[in-house]
Each structure stands twice: as C-alpha cells, then as structure tokens.
A = this chain, B = another copy of it.
Amino acid sequence: MSRFWSDTARRLTPYVPGEQPKLDKLVKLNTNESPYGPSPRAVEAIQRAASEDLRRYPDPNSDALKAALARYHSVRPAQIFVGNGSDEVLAHAFIALLKHDAPLRFPDITYSFYPVYCGLFDITHTPIALTDALEIDPADYAAGGPIIFPNPNAPTGRLLPIDAVEALLAANPDVPVVIDEAYIDYGGESAIPLVDRHPNLLVTRTFSKSRALAGLRVGYAVGSAELVEGLERVKNSFNSYPLGRPAQAGAIASVEDEPHFRDSCARVIATREWLDQALTALGFEVLPSAANFVFARHPKHAGATLAAALRDQAIIVRHFKLPRIDDYLRITVGTDDECAALIDALKALV
C-alpha cells in the first residue's frame, strides 16, 4: 500500500494468469494455447507489416480488420469491436455495458477475471451457482441485472446448447448479455447469428486459442451497432490505438485462412476425444468438453497433489484452489505426444 495510490488501486485484487514459465522442455498444458502454430499467412503478414511504415500510427479504428471479421461473420463492420486481446474487449464491455444499478450476474464457477473487472470498475455482482453437474441452467437467470458467461464455460469446458442460450436471451431482453466465446470454435454453436434479433447481446472472441495467436494480442466482439458504439466510446476514452500494425495485419491474414483454422480445430478436437477416453480409462471423471481443454478429477487423488506431482515431471496443468472445483485439473489439449506424455505420467501416479 502507498499513500499515493487511489482508493481503486488500494482495494483491487488483481487477476493471476496461468504461469508462463521461462524454462524450455516443459509439457505446458496450463494456459489453453493452441498446440499448432498460427496460419503461415498471418506470420508473413506480420513480418511484412514490420517492414512497412512502423513509424506511422496504425489505423485507430482497425477498419480493414473489422471489414474482414464482418465478412467472416456475415454482419456489418459497425457490429464489430476489436481490442488488445479479448481481455481488453471484456474490460471495455464491463465499464461500457455491464455497470448498471442492478448487480451483474455470472456463474459462481467461471473465468476468474470477471470479479476482478468488477473490482476495478466498482460493479456490484451476484454469483449464480452452476448446477451440481457444473452446468449453466438458463432457468437460474430469470429477472435480474446484466449477465456475462463464457460459452463453453471456463474452466469446466461445458457447452450451453444454442437453444438454451436463446431461452436465456428470451428471458432477459432488457439487460445487456455478454457471451464470451473464447472456446466456441472447438465444437460449440456460436450465438453470433442471434445478434441481429437481440440488440442486447454482445459476443466476444479471441485470436489466442483457435487462431493460435496468443502472442499477438487480438480479440473482438460482435453485437448490435448500438452496443459496439458504447464500446467504441470507452475505447476512444482509454487508448486510441489499441492494435498495432503487425497485430492488425496478422489478424486479417488469419481470418482469411479458413483451411488452416479448420484443420487446427479438427486436430485439437480429435486429440481431446482421445484424451477424454484415456483419462476415463485411468479412473478420472471427465466433464464433457467443447473447449480445447478438459476438466477432470480423480476420485482417489486430490487435484493439488496431482498437479504438483505432474509439475515434478515438467508437465504443467492448471489447478484452481476454489470451492467446488478444488478436486479438478484443467488440462489443455496439447499435441498427441504431449497428451500421451501426460497420460503416461498419470498412469504412474494413480
């Protein structure tokens, strides 16, 4: 604490991201990165952007990137908002759309950055408990304040089917609803086609998972033009130029390389199914996952103990010391070899 800090700075409990160890030779299955690289076209575009006009400010509005994303999702460019990773997009959504008198609602088990944003922007919030099966039940989201949830949820990986998403939206036409689709590309059905019928719906996306560009920092949101305008007002009061030239160029090239994208996602999904079966065969209970990770617990071994034992073998998975999920491990779907190494290590442990 310092007397020079604001009250806001004093009261914060910052987010703690998954560890980014600086050691080599790790099997790193803790931060849900893609095991495959980004589109080679994205790499080339970044390299080209680096050699052209880096002394110039980038387009503050990222118009070319918005146009590419609008084409991709069949919406208008005014329905696209872009930011420095989906964490920044979410931060702007919290201050622009989710801060109202009625408390913000989100699942009790979810992306742990949400309560942190609430602390930063002084937003009251109410947790809504997942069911015993760690699922979101739309019936629990009847009347109330704004809503945010990831779909698939993190860290459970469980998908809310699109008809359930529609039921939740139908029950909440008068408050902003943000759906964080960081992991939707691994088998879920997106809510983006619903934005035109639901002016209160904002869907956020990231280039960090299925597009394998976590190192570049690009995220975006799709919604009604009026929601996007609210986000733009906040963005233009915070940082005019959130995306540099390499980031804009790389993201555009990624969006335009559909075969690479589809192939990467398909490979991750195939490995996920193998991993699910292999863990089940070892006695783990594995939640059905529609993400690039699985969430699993062993009836006889504590999550923290297993995570520590794996770490001793240079395999890093994520464990959350939180009520209800303390037993679980969240395991990123890596390459086939990485997942096999994990299963081998677990065989010796359980």
Contact = CB atoms under 8 A, between A and B. Distances in A.
A221 interface: no
Judged by DSSP, the binding face of A is loop
Contacts of A59: 20, 22
B54 A212 contact: yes
A297 interface: no
A77 interface: no
Interface residues of A, number: 89
A38 B15 contact: no
Interface string A218-256: 000000001101101111111111111111001000000
A259 interface: no
A292 B208 CA distance: 37
A127 interface: no
Given A4-B176, A4-B226, A9-B230, 5 more contacts: A8-B99, A84-B217, A85-B239, A87-B241, A214-B241
Which 4 A-B pairs rank lowest in CB-CB distance, beginning with the nearest? A14-B236, A215-B245, A46-B50, A55-B212
17 contacts: A2-B227, A8-B234, A9-B234, A42-B54, A46-B54, A49-B215, A54-B250, A55-B214, A57-B208, A58-B214, A58-B215, A88-B242, A91-B239, A120-B234, A215-B246, A216-B246, A246-B246
